[in-house]
Structure formats: C-alpha cells, structure tokens
Chain A
Amino acid sequence: MNNPNNPMARQNGIVVQEMPDEVLVYDLDSNKAHCLNSSAAQVWKSCDGSNTVADIVKQFDGKVTEDFVWLAIDQLNENGLLANEVAPRFAGQSRRQVLKTIGLASMVALPVIASLVAPSSAMAAVSCTCTAALNCAGRACPSTTNCNAQGLCAP
C-alpha cells in the first residue's frame, strides 16, 4: 500500500535509459536530462511509495545510513524525479556539511545526480533551436512563430 509520506519515483513525463552502471533520465516537461549514478539509481528505483527510508537502507544490506538515503532523496526531489513532495532532510545545510556527515561512514559510493547538457556539436547541428518565439522568425524551420516546449521552432 502506498503511503503519501514515503518517497515515490516519478513515472510520468520522463524517459529512462538504463545503463550498466548508471541511469539516464530525460524530463519531458522541463527538457532536462539527468545522470544518476548507481547509488542514486538504486534509491530512486526503491522509491515505490510503500518503502520507508528505513526499508531502502535495508536494501543496501546495511552498508549505508538513513542520511545516505536522504541525501539521494533530497537530490531526486530537487531534480523533480519524485512524484510526491518530500520535505528536504538537509535543508539549509551546504552540500559540504552533508557530505562530512555521511561521506566517511559510507561503504558505498555517494549518490550523485548530474545534469546532462546538450553537447555544443548537437546544438550547432540543430539549426532550429530557440529560447523564444522571436528566435524563430525568418528561419526555415517547421514553425516561424512558435518556440515549443522542446526548445525548437516547431508547432
């Protein structure tokens, strides 16, 4: 049974590509791409709405602490990868302070979620990229009046 207080991974509006040692996620709403290392990915996959943080810790065979899982959840939350709002555990603390708290005690690589940015070669190749409708005027793109949610001059 899902509990609204337990973290739940977002299922809608994202595209997921599994890799052997990481998970790539594309957010179709914000058009942002993320790379989850294996620890972050494991926490994310465990966020099914029924697992508590303590349950997720158990899934790491006790090699991590609750703070470790919370670090992952805070990052998942910040990046819009959770379906439900979870109050941040480390609000107001710098990342350095958080890492000091849990880093040395951890037997497992710390959870990291990195943003993927479109390579410059890709941006250059797509001549119809835009940030506003005005950018589309006078360009031979599918739309000359609309900059769509994907950042393209297209309907």
Chain B
Amino acid sequence: MQTDNFAQSQTHSDEARWSVLQRKVQEHNVLRAFDLFRENGIEPILIKGLAAANYYPADVFRPSIDMDLAVAKADFVKANTLLNELAADGLAIDLHRELRHLDTVEWNDLFENSRLVEATGSTYRILRPEDHLRVLCVHWLTDGGGNKERLWDIYYAIANREPDFDWDRFLNVVSRKRRRWLVCTVGLVHKYLGLDLADTPVKDEAKDLPEWLIRRVEYEWAREDKNEPLEIVLNDRSRLLKQIALRFDQNPIWATVQMEGSFDARTRIFYQIGNFFYRIPSSVRRISRELRNRGK
C-alpha cells in the first residue's frame, strides 16, 4: 500500500501527515463496520472510499463523508438494521443492495473475485481491481459527471494499477454499451487529468469521445446551481421551484446511464424523457417519507 512507502520517508508536511493519519482513521472505521457486520454473519464489500484511496499517493488526501458497503440481496434487510448502531458511533454508511446499476456482473462472481485486505490485525473486503474500476467509472457517470475531483479515483486506480491488471476483465464482462461508458470515462481522465494510456489497450478508443459528453462535463464543472434532493428544500419555495426547474434540464450523462443507453446514440432526448418519468415515483416516495417524518 502507498501508506507504507510514505511512512519510510523522513520529512513530511502537515498536509501529508493529515492525509496519512486520516487514511488510518478511515481504515479504523472500516474495520469497525466489518467487525459488526461479521458478528452478524454478513460479509460486506467496501467500494469507493478507502478502496479508492489506497491507490492514491499517501500524501494526497482523499476526503470522503461516508462509507459505501455492498452486501448480498439476502443480507440487505438485516444489514440495514445494523446501521443505527454504527451511526451512533458516528459512522455514516451508504448501504448498497449488491451493486444494482453500478455493475451488471453477478454478485456471486464479484464476491468470488473479491479480495481481503489485511489491516491492523484484521481484514476488510474489496472488489478485485478490475471490478472496482468499473464501479468507480459507472458511479462517476451516475453523478452526471459533475464531480471532477473524483476523476482522480480513476486516474490513480489506473496509474497505480498492479502489473497483472486484467483489461479484459475490466472491459469485456459487460455489454458493449457499458464497455463504451467505461472507455469514455477513462478517456475523460486522459483528456482532463493527463492520464497516460500509452501502454493500455484503450489508448486509441479512449481518445474518441462524443462531443456531447465533453460539452456536458465542462458545463457541469462550470455551473454553480447544483441539484439538491427535493425533500430538503420543501420549506423554501424559491429553492424548491428552482430545483424543480432544474429537473427539466435532465443531465444527459446521468439519463443515458440510468436508461442503460448508448453514448453513441444520435440524441439524448429519449433517455432524458425516460429518466424524467422514471425518477418520479422515487422522488414522490422520498418526499412523502420526509413529510411523514415531519408530521411525527
């Protein structure tokens, strides 16, 4: 791990110290969560967070506000009941019922290929690097490409990949549409963060980025009016109206991924319309729940 190399060096800046210590704190929190889940017979898989940070240089801080754990469908309800206990300890867990839209590879396959990372006398489980990189890419797209900072996750996962990284496992275990999503995301990392792809099998493909994708990510990075969940702006009429108006400008990246669409389709409009209606039931559910909670 990068942290071990860093610990060997002699001089450190305060920022570097902060980074290495925070990673240790993250690891401590991850192990606490794994201990609790395992005591209850559940074996989760950590995604993003520390699993991504482990590829960063030790003196580069990767902030994260919660911990993403994926569990088997059969364990989800039980795992959900454990979250309050962890929340009481100050741990915010984003629990995933398997990987749902983030990946289409069967959970059993992902689990069998996952790895245990040893840390401070215990272990935590992560996806194999190729599977995790797919999840990082698709997750970044489901955020609508708005989080430029998180492209570094993909940058470091590729730049610091192990020599036996299996590009075939990364790219070719999903549909052609999804494969294109992955190549395009890697292409964006190359274009905007300077990732060197020379010794990779996507060095040519990744340079062929759809114009609409480039336009949208640049628009997302420049805009200040970010989407907020509707349920948190219910009390502020002007913000609520603004957020509803924003919903009519459906992010085409997000819409395409939600609708399992093609990045090379002639237009995004059908995905955007489809996603608009697809989102209505879940928005109504969340708003109703919020209103019910306020009424209690």
A and B are interacting partners: yes
Nearest neighbor of B16 in chain A, beta-carbon distance = A119
- Determine whether A101 belongs to the interface, using a CB cutoff of 8 Å to chain B: no
- Determine whether A150 belongs to the interface, using a CB cutoff of 8 Å to chain B: yes
- Determine whether A54 belongs to the interface, using a CB cutoff of 8 Å to chain B: no
- Determine whether A104 belongs to the interface, using a CB cutoff of 8 Å to chain B: no
Nearest neighbor of A21 in chain B, beta-carbon distance = B10
User: When the two chains form their complex, are residues A33 and B18 in contact, meaning their CB atoms are under 8 A apart?
Assistant: yes
Enumerate chain B residues within 8 angstroms of A92, measured Cβ to Cβ. none
Cβ-Cβ contact count across A and B, 8 Å cutoff: 93
Enumerate chain B residues within 8 angstroms of A35, measured Cβ to Cβ. 17
How far apart sit A141 and B94, CA to CA, in the bound complex (Å)? 11
User: When the two chains form their complex, are residues B65 and A17 in contact, meaning their CB atoms are under 8 A apart?
Assistant: no
Interface size on A, residues (CB 8 A): 36
The contact string, 1 if C-beta is below 8 Å from chain A, for chain B 1-24, is: 000000111101011011111101
User: When the two chains form their complex, are residues A15 and B24 in contact, meaning their CB atoms are under 8 A apart?
Assistant: yes
- Determine whether B233 belongs to the interface, using a CB cutoff of 8 Å to chain A: yes
Interface-side segment among A2-10, A60-68, A72-80, A122-130: A122-130
User: When the two chains form their complex, are residues B14 and A117 in contact, meaning their CB atoms are under 8 A apart?
Assistant: yes
Q: 8 Å CB contacts to A: which residues of B27-85?
A: 28, 61, 63, 65-66, 83
Q: 8 Å CB contacts to B: which residues of A1-46?
A: 15-21, 24, 26, 28, 33, 35
Nearest neighbor of B7 in chain A, beta-carbon distance = A19
User: When the two chains form their complex, are residues A141 and B24 in contact, meaning their CB atoms are under 8 A apart?
Assistant: no
Residues of B within 8 A of A (CB): 7-10, 12, 14-15, 17-22, 24-25, 28, 61, 63, 65-66, 83, 87, 90, 92, 94, 149, 226-229, 232-233, 236, 239
Known: A141-B65, A142-B66. 19 other contacts (CB 8 A): A15-B21, A17-B20, A17-B24, A19-B12, A20-B7, A116-B14, A118-B18, A119-B15, A121-B61, A126-B63, A128-B65, A138-B233, A138-B239, A140-B226, A140-B229, A148-B90, A149-B90, A152-B92, A155-B83
